[in-house]
A and B are shown apart, each in its own frame.
Chain A
Amino acid sequence: MAGRQLLMTFPVTANSHTLAEYRARGGYTVLENTLHHHTPRDVTQAVADAGLQGRGGAAFPTGRKWSVVVPGDGQPHYLIANADEGEPGTFKDRWILEQAPHLLLEGMLLSAYAIEARNCFIYIRGEFDLPYRRVAAAVEEAYAAGWLGDGIGGTGFGCDIVVYRGAGAYVAGEASGLISSLEGKKSYPRNRPPRLTVRGLYQRPTVVNNVESLSNVTGIVAHGAAAFRAVGTEKSPGTRLFSVSGHVNRPGVYEVELGFPWRKFIDEDCGGVLGGKPLKAVVPGGISSKVMTAAEVETLRLSHEDLWSAGSTLGSGGMIVVAEGTCMVRLLQIMLRFYHHESCGQCTPCRDGTGWMHRILDRIVAGEGRPEDIERLYYIAKYNDGTTICGLGDAAGYAASGMLDKFRDEFEFWIAHKHSRCQGRIECPIS
């Protein structure tokens, strides 16, 4: 086990996701106690003191996000759980949605109490079927048991949750794009300022938090900020859920105490590289985070500060393990096809840049690469960065420049020899 755990604290069984079992584990007692004995301000303070960083990808301090919402300003506030999990390589929120939906709901209720939101939403990606059914059933259970609706726990606090299904758009996972989608429109991201906590859903103050972030709130309120800070590192308190995939013996969702040695996690918890092959690289947190080489994985710990200092990020926690012998040119081709497909088309640098980069990679793979292509890719990546409304275009550039920084020789080889140095191989054979 990769250090201490805060979320995966119970054995998963056929019924462990139900209200009855959640109650048997002490569920909703933190909410009840808080509503009776603590103020909304106490909850916000605990989350701020705990130093909880957003688990969706940006690691923005949750408490600081909440503190922008002004209590008692006479307008409705909204809380949205971002369950639009779509960053390639990421499936960790799916674990919470499927196995611990009431942990999310209790965390949302505490958060809604803190920011004085009567109406909450769970925006869940349209493809997720079982996660939707589990969450929708949990919401119905919570209403029936009086944990949602009016007068929760015999107090004056009321809260409603609507489960809202997306319809297939990566960019809807971006907080402002999500809000556009929840307003029944195409999920175009919006320029900020104003921040969403000032003008969000239907122009009202809105907090959008990742599912895992919200699921941590219950534990923080229950045991206090100090207990949360006692886990993890000083700059990365707590744990993170990592979804591990690719060339690895035991793919799946793991909870890791932040600061845990990266290589040890892959070798011991995840069973090492598939087929006992040497490790070539790891994409740390979804394909929008820059790829790290095996040598870097060897020295780094899984903490925000470690990855940031190495020029990457823990991102969404979507870790993709790459075995020696894999063609990085083909991997980047797939990544760029993805960004090209998902660019919403609103901003020119992203709309044109993602397509341009994708076409260059297709050309290289077709044996028609040109020596200037590598500098061209860097150039496009540079002018995508920070020139668009949301981060999708930036991310496409990070994926490209990350691969080129670390594996430039493979791109030069394909351009010069018109074929891959690794036979274009990306898959482990399936039976």
Chain B
Amino acid sequence: MKDLIPEFEALRARFPPGFASSLVLPCLRRIQEERGYVADSDIDGLVAHIGVPRIQIEEVLSFYTQFRRRPIGRWHLQVCRNVSCSMRGAETLLEHLQRKLRIAPEETTPDGRCTLSAVECLGSCGTAPAMMVNDRYVENLTIAALDELLEELE
């Protein structure tokens, strides 16, 4: 985390004075980008750097779905299964992925390649069914497109 402190300082400068607490979410996001998850030592570092109570950071980490406390696979496949995506085949896609990867949602393949998640609305309903592959949206999915995509993920 120490390497990121100059970045955190630049971020702080963009906020008005008195907004230190607001740095919690963006700093955690940035830490997770670097490490892949947020470690205990990161929380210690952030408590010291921002000066917010440790409980605030712990609450944020457990409240928001995007934060992780442990490593996951190299590729995080997050399949939307809300109303519009289900109406365009998301449940079939999710079953296909589970069969193909031989894992259930929230599991990682033994080789550490893929982690599968079933998630709620991604705001991609007009291009349903949709999923996220790491940070990227993949839309208008079909079984064939999914199979092709899996081939590319190393």
Contacts and interface: CB of A to CB of B under 8 A. Distances in A.
A186 interface: yes
B132 to A, nearest CB: 7
Question: For A89, A125, A331, A431, which residue has the most chain B Cβ atoms within 10 angstroms?
Answer: A89
Contact of B142 (A94, A169, A430): A430
B142 A91 contact: no
B81 A334 contact: yes
Contacts of A160: 14, 16
A87 B128 CA distance: 15
A204 B11 CA distance: 22
A166 B135 contact: no
Contacts of A320: 83-84, 87, 125
B98 interface: no
Contacts of B121: 86-90, 170, 338
Nearest to B18: A202
Contacts of B56: 184-185
B24 interface: yes
Contacts of B1: none
Interface size class of B (residues with CB under 8 A): 35 or more
A245 B84 CA distance: 6
Contact of A166 (B23, B24, B25, B127): B25
A251 B127 contact: yes
Contacts of B67: 167-168
A164 B25 contact: yes
B21 A184 contact: yes
Interface in A397-431: 426-431
Contacts of B82: 88, 334, 338
Contacts, number: 163
A335 B136 CA distance: 25
Contacts of B135: 129
B74 interface: no
Contact of A167 (B60, B87, B142, B143): B60
Nearest to B89: A430
B120 A341 contact: yes
A38 B77 CA distance: 51
A386 interface: no
Contacts of B132: 127
Given A90-B123, A129-B135, A167-B66, A184 B143 contact: no
Interface of A: 76, 85-91, 94, 118-119, 125-130, 160, 162, 164-170, 181-187, 202, 243-247, 251-253, 283, 287, 318, 320, 322, 326, 331, 334-335, 338, 341-342, 344, 426-431
10 contacts: A85-B123, A87-B121, A89-B84, A162-B15, A164-B26, A184-B25, A253-B126, A320-B87, A338-B82, A427-B86
Interface of B: 14-16, 18-19, 21-26, 28-29, 50, 52, 56, 59-60, 63-67, 81-84, 86-93, 120-129, 132, 135-137, 141-144
